[in-house]
């Protein structure tokens, strides 16, 4: 008996992702991004994202089928992100998934986006496992740190599909959002994460001590595993204002030092909290996911701190860290394999869906 062939659709933010898997084997991971259309607004515009998904959906499905070398009729199931995310954007993916499932007469599975990020670790394919750093199977439980432009969450995963617990999340901005906002302050284009990463290389991460949100003893009582980045962003803004007030045009803004110091603060707080969770819960494993995992300092510090703490670090390849349909398909295939009931057609988009 062959493993189920599952197509997964992801439209929670600005990426239209369509992935195809056979069991755990990755066959296709087609992505269309509307990032460029949001650039002039400095952030994702929900209405623009939804329209872009509608336009990209059919071509992206076709590309995924092409890449996988399969036909629509071969599919055994459809999986789709039902939340959390932008409601209008989610609805486009959900509608497409329902249409496919009904017309093909195959079951449909609604998948939580955050669970999908964790599911990226399931995927197998040429060269894929090697890039995980850890070649063996993901052992459970694991702590998962998901950081992107839309979310910053710390999860405890006991079972990939049925037991994922939210330990903490951002109480204001997502980490990627903070990167984008600070980049804007520094006159760098959107999306800001890669730009800050680029200019920070030439800077001194110790030049300015920016605050680490929610790490004071008083905050830790209530927010041990939560994050806050809006204070950090404000602190960078104040620093830039002060520099300009003091020096005017006489001394250019030390962009590299500001970027490096800011990046250091974000990486530090992310990994301090993630490793505190590993230590408190006695879980010697940490899985990373989300677009901010592309950050060079976040990656380096993750390796450094995990080695020091004796924690196994797993980092999916970047194409599976950023939002994609393959991770959704991977969870769908797992649901099929474990005999879970399909979701039916009555579900809708839930922009604040808990794990």
d(CA 9, CA 286): 26
Provide the minimum distance between the beta carbon of 147 and ligand KG4 in the complex, in angstroms, as a whole number: 8
Query: Using CB under 6 A, which residues numbered 319 to 348 contact ligand KG4?
Result: 322-323
Burial class (CB in 10 A: 0-12, 13-18, 19+), 213: buried
As given in the structure block, the two tokens for residue 286 are 């940490």
323 touches Zn ion by CB under 5 A: yes
d(CA 185, CA 68): 43
Phi, psi of 209 (to 5 degrees): -95, 95
Q: Within 10 A of 217 (CB to CB), how many other CB atoms are there?
A: 6
Query: Using CB under 6 A, which residues numbered 260 to 299 contact ligand KG4?
Result: 290-292, 294-295
Provide the minimum distance between the beta carbon of 64 and Zn ion in the complex, in angstroms, as a whole number: 18
Whether residue 38 is annotated as binding a ligand: the answer is: no
Q: Which residues of 131-161 are buried (b: 16+ CB within 10 A; e: fewer)?
A: ebbbeeebeebbbbbbbbbbbbbbbbbeebb
* Window 148-177: contact mask with ligand KG4 (x via CB under 6 A): xxx-------------------------xx
* Window 143-182: contact mask with Zn ion (x via CB under 5 A): -----x----------------------------------
Picking from 77, 92, 83, the residue whose alpha carbon sits closest to that of residue 112 is 83
116 touches ligand KG4 by CB under 6 A: no
Q: Within 10 A of 23 (CB to CB), how many other CB atoms are there?
A: 16
d(CA 193, CA 181): 9
Choice between 4 and 176, CB closer to ligand KG4: 176
Choice between 37 and 74, CB closer to ligand KG4: 37
180 touches ligand KG4 by CB under 6 A: yes
Stretch that binds ligand KG4, among 66-74, 144-152, 212-220, 248-256 (CB under 6 A): 144-152
Give the Cα-Cα-Cα angle 137, 15, 165 (nearest 5 degrees).
Answer: 45
Whether residue 163 is annotated as binding a ligand: the answer is: no
Choice between 85 and 141, CB closer to ligand KG4: 85
As given in the structure block, the two tokens for residue 81 are 């992100």
Phi, psi of 54 (to 5 degrees): -60, -45
Residue with tokens 């006159």: 187
Choice between 95 and 148, CB closer to Zn ion: 148
111 touches ligand KG4 by CB under 6 A: no
Contact partner at residue 149 from ligand KG4, Zn ion, none, CB < 5 to 8 Å by partner kind: ligand KG4
Binding site per annotation, positions: 113, 117, 146-150, 180, 193, 197, 295, 323
Residues that bind ligand KG4 (CB under 6 A): 13, 148-150, 176-177, 179-180, 191-194, 197, 290-292, 294-295, 322-323
């Amino acid at each position: 008996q062959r493993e189920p062939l599952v197509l997964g659709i992801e439209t929670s933010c600005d990426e239209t992702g369509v992935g195809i898997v056979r069991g755990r084997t990755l066959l296709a991971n087609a992505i269309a991004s509307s990032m460029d259309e949001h650039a002039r607004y400095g952030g994702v515009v929900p209405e623009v994202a939804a329209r872009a998904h509608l336009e990209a959906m059919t071509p992206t499905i076709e590309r995924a089928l092409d890449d996988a070398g399969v036909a629509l009729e071969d599919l055994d199931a459809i999986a789709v992100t039902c939340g959390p995310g932008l409601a209008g954007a989610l609805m486009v993916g959900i509608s497409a998934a329902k249409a496919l499932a009904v017309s093909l007469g195959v079951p449909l599975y609604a998948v939580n986006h955050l669970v999908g990020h964790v599911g990226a670790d399931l995927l197998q394919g040429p060269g894929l496992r090697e890039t995980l750093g850890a070649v063996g199977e993901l052992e459970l439980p694991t702590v998962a740190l998901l950081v992107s432009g839309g979310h910053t969450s710390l999860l405890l995963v006991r079972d990939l599909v049925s037991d994922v617990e939210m330990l903490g999340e951002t109480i204001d901005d997502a980490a990627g959002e903070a990167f984008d906002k600070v980049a804007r302050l520094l006159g760098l284009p959107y999306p800001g994460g890669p730009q800050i990463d680029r200019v920070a290389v030439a800077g001194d991460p110790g030049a300015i001590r920016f605050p680490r949100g929610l790490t004071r003893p008083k905050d830790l009582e209530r927010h041990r595993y939560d994050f806050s980045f809006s204070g950090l962003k404000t602190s960078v803004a104040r620093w830039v204002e002060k520099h300009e007030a003091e020096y005017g045009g006489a001394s250019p803004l030390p962009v590299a030092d500001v970027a490096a110091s800011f990046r250091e603060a974000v990486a530090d707080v992310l990994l301090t909290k993630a490793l505190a969770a590993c230590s408190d819960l006695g879980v010697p494993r940490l899985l990373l996911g989300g677009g901010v995992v592309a950050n060079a300092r976040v990656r380096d510090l993750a390796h450094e701190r995990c080695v020091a703490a004796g924690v196994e670090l797993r980092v999916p390849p970047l194409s599976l860290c950023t939002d994609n349909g393959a991770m959704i398909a991977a969870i769908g295939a797992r649901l099929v394999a474990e005999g879970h009931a399909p979701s039916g057609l009555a579900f809708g988009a839930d922009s604040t869906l808990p794990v």
